Structure 1
Amino acid sequence: MTCALLFVLSLVLALAAPSQGHGLGPKSRLRYSRFLGPSNVILLRWDFDLETEIITFELQVRTTGWVGLGVTNRYTFVGSDLVVGGVLPDGHVYFSDQHLVDEDTLQEDGSQDAELQGLKEDGVYTTLRFSRPFRSCDPHDQDITVDTVRVLAAYGLDDTLKLDQERIFVKSIFLLQIFHPDDLKVPEDTIIHDLEIVDFLIPEDDTTYACTFLPLPIVSKKHHIYKFEPKLTPHNETVVHHILLYACGNASVLPTGINDCYGADPAFSLCSQVIAGWAVGGTSYQFPDDVGISIGTPLDPQWIRLEIHYSNFRNLPGLYDSSGIRVYYTSQLRKYDVGVLQLGFFTFPIHFIPPGAESFMSYGLCKTEKFEEMNRAPVPDIQVYAYLLHTHLAGRALQAVQYRNGTQLRTICKDDSYDFNLQETRDLPARLEIKPGDELLVECHYETLDRDSITFGGPSTINEMCLIFLFYYPRNNISSCHGYPDIISVAHELGEEVSDPMEGMMAMSSVEWTPENIKKAEKACKEAQQTVLIKTIDELVENTTGWIPDIIPTPRGPCLESSGGKVEPQDKTPADSRAAPMPLSSSTAASLRCLPLTALLCMQGALSRILGTLQTGF
């Protein structure tokens, strides 16, 4: 025990560490919280200041030993940063900014960039509260960004700083949430309505898309839906992959019952205007106070298509499901009516990702020049305020980029650390404007080192998608705008002789996927002419063509200089750094195998009909 205490005391002791000047002091309420470990052993609270780029964490762990919190990456704990602290038996505290040099060893950073705000132990829990910059000038500190962040929490049973794999937990969290539900209005006349499937027997298949058509709430005057949340049948959470609500045009003739969404009966794939959705890892979503989904007027949809994707990979029998989406609506009207625009790569086997790829980029182009013609009315500028990203298991990053008059204007949204198990609607920090004539490009980054056969675009979780949903106002009638490359020219670049799209897709399975051919295929897909498919809520479809523009990377913002501690040679402050805010006060220490192409094509019953249009246009 004596050696352990001496080791701990050799760390940096922070007995009265100053807090950063960011308005979140030792006693400020932290708006966000999440349990990180099983049985509620680890509770994380946090909050942040976007202006000063400082985030504050509070970690409460059921232990009387040391606790630690930091950030890691997808592949390894090595290099993870970890801020650690604890209370010694004599009441003294220790606190230090560290990093993992290997899976088991911690080392103190030369630059101490975390500021202690409080540290206490009450015999049951140890509670650590500290702040840190989003981006420090220390290469050992991983950035806090608008991406998914893999939060690493660890603790010990005593004050010996030794890592134990059984007491290390990682959870993906979107830390920089703009709105908290407590900050948004809840109308007094709220009405709840469930749009759900009833006692559906989930097939013993890997993938099932079940669809049914349901009426929206019947109201005598205009109302707004202002919130939605998943309604999952208990114990089916691991089987339900996503739930989507599609608005139906009022002229649609809709089928009854429950059927395969994309099977033999094409009527069950009608309605493509997404209005709300949930996917793995998501929770509820409440719209900002000035927007909502309009219902109850002659221009509003009266019916929706409820789509539930089941991934029953263990082929479990006898599972009945009554999941769906719960909506909250009110007669207290908001200023704007919500619309949703679906962008990305057209989901179809023309989308392919080679096996064994450390990195492979796919692109889907949208050109808005035909929006007004297809809307059959003027299209006001689109004001985007939120987004939802979606790929399947090979996805590693996504972004949507906006162009105007041939020049890159901005990155609309992105996530360089995408996690399939955390798909949620996210608010933008500022609303963005899209004007008629703008081009929108979706880029998806994939990694398939664990796969030995090609991955095709398709509905199954072991196929792939590349989609971004933009939530905007005021609503128009455009539901989706997807792109895909000329697969014939791609095949020719890979040395395959083909004459039609079907042959082009089939040829991808015969390519020898060396690293050189993977890069050649990526380049060919990016440089091939893209067909852009635009669809309206009334199922009107038109196409146009375009070319993938280059993406200019967005530079990282400045880092914040260390507020204390030695700066190592590699920690030198870059020229664009800025000083940290002056302290305002001090605180007391207190092997997937993908479906073969032939099986995938069989699964998509409408293949021949769609292929016929690929050459002639819709």
Structure 2
Amino acid sequence: MLQTPGAMACALLFRLLLLTALPTSSQGNHLGLTSRLRYSMFLDPSNVTFLHWDFDLEAEVVTFELQVQTAGWVGLGITNSYTMVGSNLVVGGVSPDGNVYFSNQHLVDEDALEEGQDAELQALTEDTIYTTMCFSRPFCSCDPQDQDITSDTVRVLATYGPDDTLKLDRERTFVSPLQIVHPDDLDVPEDTIIHDLEITDFFIPEDDTTYACTFFPLSIVSKKHRIYKFEPKLVHHKETTVHHILVYACGNTSALPKGISDCYGADPASSLCSQVIVGWAVGDTSYQFPGDVGISTGMALDPQWVRLEIHYSSLHSLPGVYGSSGIRVYYTVQLRKYDMGVLQLGFCTLPIHFIPPGAESFACYGLCKAEKFDEMNGAPVPDIQVCGYLFHTHLAGRTLQAVQYRNGTQRQTIWKDDTYDLNLQETDLPSVAIKPGDELLVGCHYQMLDHDSLTFGGPSTVNEMCLIFLFYYIRNNISSCMGYADIIYVAHMLGEEASDSMEGMMAMNNVEWTPENIKKTEKACEEAQQMVIIKTIDIMENRTGWIPEIIPAPRGPCLESSRGKVEPQDRTPVGFRAAPMALSGSSAATKAPPPTALLFGQGAVSWLLATLRAGA
């Protein structure tokens, strides 16, 4: 099988990301919680402190359950300021002789406590892994030292000790913003568990693009559940916007780092976990899956850990901006018929993806050949029933489409968006079946009239992408299938010398980007051989292929209507946005999720460029 240097580097980088493992604490001790409390969230970057809570609006009482990986004391408090002084802190534990101790304290300074009241103990236990404290308190205790609980965001203070000596340690003390009371969530099913995956109080650097990642256990339940809904959790700043939030599934054998880090920095382990399961992009809101579809969790073969990725895009580069954002997921024990999956298609997000300056319209294509799906899945792949999709480019994207081929013949233009808007990335709901062996071609047209230099593929908002995400059932192991053009061929067609992909990329800087050369480059990119990269959660396969011809859908004669001229084919559009369709045997369809994703980030791209330069 022919491999270009760029393909080999791409393959090597994928394997590096998948095989690199960092020492970490055991991740086999999953929570398996059975708490009756609906809401939950980890309160520290290492996932040591885990909080459940719920509230009774009528009684004006909130109940907390704090679970910490310690054999010592634990504490939980509420404050509405950035200083811990004045906070109330409920502390408790189990002494070595088995006696339970519990009290409500107040912080007179950052190191000293004095006893208070108004918290009622429900349960306090200790086992070989966790100390768990459950207590309730009123929204308003009438104690001037207690912070009232309202629907506003408060700051939760969690702390613990390694033994039963009550002494504050800043390394074991965490403060997180939290909205405890959620009146809008009262209409969810009674069996719903609501879990927050969130990065809190993250300092956003003065850069136009910042990525922050951390890892969480996804399987917080001890038996099979389905995730049926998710929504973004955002704290808005006029200086900074969240561009997208993604949740990736991790292979269950991965050894994962702790804390918060750059998603695509020098440490390859930060890029582990690349199979998108849910996500959000700017312009979208909450999403509930169609009635028969959900994300399976709680079983041994389901993803146990996930990577949360948040992309911040700074607008004014102002210092001192903190962000707290994430994804809220809704679990239900009511099982659904189909497990949902996400398949990523398009142009491989690499600097090999380039767009000339000054182009009024420039097309790029990414090819997927599904002939190896059965082999890579480890079992026959049933027809992929697509129940939603999302296109994604950055600032220069104008028109996007996806075309399906079967047995060498164009079957249909299954999705097309002629008015793409980066700030309104909504998800449409088609009804399309994809069979193993089909070819799928994703095309993006860009406009570069306001650019005077080349734009390359990459993670930043000022870089470009050409992606589509398919939300489908029944889930299989394929996570992405994307292609890129042989840039050496493109360089040669432009009269430039290039013996490897790095030289081909550098040669693009030598081209005079006249309208004639832009058209010649676009034609060369369409004619060039494509390297197709197919990936599961832990393996990758390279294929080659050629871009097939795209036959435009025929247009029928115009018919008059009260709103102007409408063509017959537009009444049941092929290749245009259609009205939402319900799944067979399910309730009316609702929107599917809109993640945007990256294959590589800034650090990985730098490494790739060095590899290409060496002729890998």
The two structures share one fold, judged by TM-score above 0.5: yes
1:323–1:517 Cα change, 3 Å: same
User: Which moved further from structure 2: 209-218 or 442-451?
Assistant: 209-218
Cα drift, residue 522 of structure 1: 0.5
> In 2, are the aligned partners of 1:395 and 1:418 still within 8 Å (CA)?
yes
1:533 corresponding residue in structure 2: 533
2:551 corresponding residue in structure 1: 552
1:42 corresponding residue in structure 2: none
Q: Counterpart of 1:542 in 2: which secondary structure?
A: strand
Cα drift, residue 610 of structure 1: 6.1
* Partner AA of 1:201 in structure 2: F
1:411 corresponding residue in structure 2: 413
User: Within 1, Cα distance between the matches of 2:510 and 2:271?
Assistant: 32
> For 1:64-102, what per-residue CA distance to the aligned partner results, in whole angstroms no more than 9, with x for missing partners?
xxxxxxxxxxxxxxxxxxxxxxxxxxxxxxxxxxxxxxx
1:395 corresponding residue in structure 2: 397
* Partner AA of 1:604 in structure 2: V
> For 1:483-541, what per-residue CA distance to the aligned partner results, in whole angstroms no more than 9, with x for missing partners?
00100000000111011100111111121000000001111001000000111112x11
Structure 2 residues without counterparts, runs of 5 or longer? 1-186, 572-600
> For 1:113-146, what per-residue CA distance to the aligned partner results, in whole angstroms no more than 9, with x for missing partners?
xxxxxxxxxxxxxxxxxxxxxxxxxxxxxxxxxx
User: Which moved further from structure 2: 477-486 or 376-385?
Assistant: 376-385
User: Within 2, Cα distance between the matches of 1:256 and 1:331?
Assistant: 30
Q: Counterpart of 1:198 in 2: which secondary structure?
A: strand
> In 2, are the aligned partners of 1:264 and 1:605 still within 8 Å (CA)?
no
1:510 corresponding residue in structure 2: 510
User: Within 2, Cα distance between the matches of 1:412 and 1:553?
Assistant: 12
> In 1, are the aligned partners of 2:239 and 2:314 still within 8 Å (CA)?
no
> In 1, are the aligned partners of 2:248 and 2:276 still within 8 Å (CA)?
yes
> In 2, are the aligned partners of 1:213 and 1:255 still within 8 Å (CA)?
yes
Cα drift, residue 543 of structure 1: 0.3
User: Within 2, Cα distance between the matches of 1:469 and 1:575?
Assistant: 29
1:488 corresponding residue in structure 2: 488
> In 1, are the aligned partners of 2:502 and 2:613 still within 8 Å (CA)?
no
> For 1:4-29, what per-residue CA distance to the aligned partner results, in whole angstroms no more than 9, with x for missing partners?
xxxxxxxxxxxxxxxxxxxxxxxxxx
> In 1, are the aligned partners of 2:555 and 2:567 still within 8 Å (CA)?
no
1:603–1:479 Cα change, 3 Å: closer
> For 1:294-327, what per-residue CA distance to the aligned partner results, in whole angstroms no more than 9, with x for missing partners?
1011111011111111111311211111101111
User: Within 1, Cα distance between the matches of 2:404 and 2:225?
Assistant: 33
User: Within 2, Cα distance between the matches of 1:563 and 1:374?
Assistant: 52
Structure 1 residues without counterparts, runs of 5 or longer? 1-184, 565-570, 579-599
> In 2, are the aligned partners of 1:236 and 1:321 still within 8 Å (CA)?
no
Matches within 5 A, 1:46-61: none
Q: Counterpart of 2:318 in 1: which secondary structure?
A: coil
1:464 corresponding residue in structure 2: 464
Cα drift, residue 611 of structure 1: 3.6
Matches within 5 A, 1:363-382: 363-382=365-384
Q: Counterpart of 2:420 in 1: which secondary structure?
A: coil
Cα drift, residue 426 of structure 1: 2.3
> In 2, are the aligned partners of 1:187 and 1:332 still within 8 Å (CA)?
no
1:137 corresponding residue in structure 2: none
Q: 2:251 aligns with which of 249, 255, 280?
A: 249
Matches within 5 A, 1:31-70: none
1:500–1:394 Cα change, 3 Å: same
User: Within 2, Cα distance between the matches of 1:610 and 1:517?
Assistant: 29
Cα drift, residue 481 of structure 1: 0.7
> In 2, are the aligned partners of 1:397 and 1:445 still within 8 Å (CA)?
yes
Cα drift, residue 192 of structure 1: 1.1
User: Within 2, Cα distance between the matches of 1:535 and 1:563?
Assistant: 49
> In 1, are the aligned partners of 2:354 and 2:454 still within 8 Å (CA)?
yes
Matches within 5 A, 1:302-317: 302-317=304-319
Q: Counterpart of 1:199 in 2: which secondary structure?
A: strand
Instruction: State the Cα RMSD in Å.
Output: 2.5
Q: Counterpart of 2:200 in 1: which secondary structure?
A: coil
2:344 corresponds to 1:345: no
User: Within 2, Cα distance between the matches of 1:250 and 1:343?
Assistant: 24
User: Within 2, Cα distance between the matches of 1:249 and 1:471?
Assistant: 20
1:314–1:574 Cα change, 3 Å: closer
2:330 corresponds to 1:328: yes
Cα drift, residue 286 of structure 1: 1.0
2:263 corresponds to 1:270: no
Stretches of 4+ moved more than 6 A in 1? 571-578, 600-603
2:478 corresponding residue in structure 1: 478
1:500 corresponding residue in structure 2: 500
Q: Counterpart of 1:338 in 2: which secondary structure?
A: strand
Cα drift, residue 559 of structure 1: 5.0
User: Within 2, Cα distance between the matches of 1:338 and 1:557?
Assistant: 37
> For 1:168-209, what per-residue CA distance to the aligned partner results, in whole angstroms no more than 9, with x for missing partners?
xxxxxxxxxxxxxxxxx9543222111111211011111111
1:523 corresponding residue in structure 2: 523
> For 1:43-82, what per-residue CA distance to the aligned partner results, in whole angstroms no more than 9, with x for missing partners?
xxxxxxxxxxxxxxxxxxxxxxxxxxxxxxxxxxxxxxxx
2:284 corresponding residue in structure 1: 282
1:194–1:501 Cα change, 3 Å: same
> In 2, are the aligned partners of 1:201 and 1:319 still within 8 Å (CA)?
yes
User: Within 2, Cα distance between the matches of 1:575 and 1:427?
Assistant: 21
1:384 corresponding residue in structure 2: 386
> For 1:377-398, what per-residue CA distance to the aligned partner results, in whole angstroms no more than 9, with x for missing partners?
2211111110011100000011
Q: 2:363 aligns with which of 348, 361, 364?
A: 361
Cα drift, residue 602 of structure 1: 6.6
1:577–1:406 Cα change, 3 Å: closer
User: Within 1, Cα distance between the matches of 2:570 and 2:383?
Assistant: 36
User: Within 2, Cα distance between the matches of 1:338 and 1:415?
Assistant: 24
User: Within 1, Cα distance between the matches of 2:570 and 2:343?
Assistant: 38
Q: Counterpart of 1:259 in 2: which secondary structure?
A: coil
1:486–1:325 Cα change, 3 Å: same
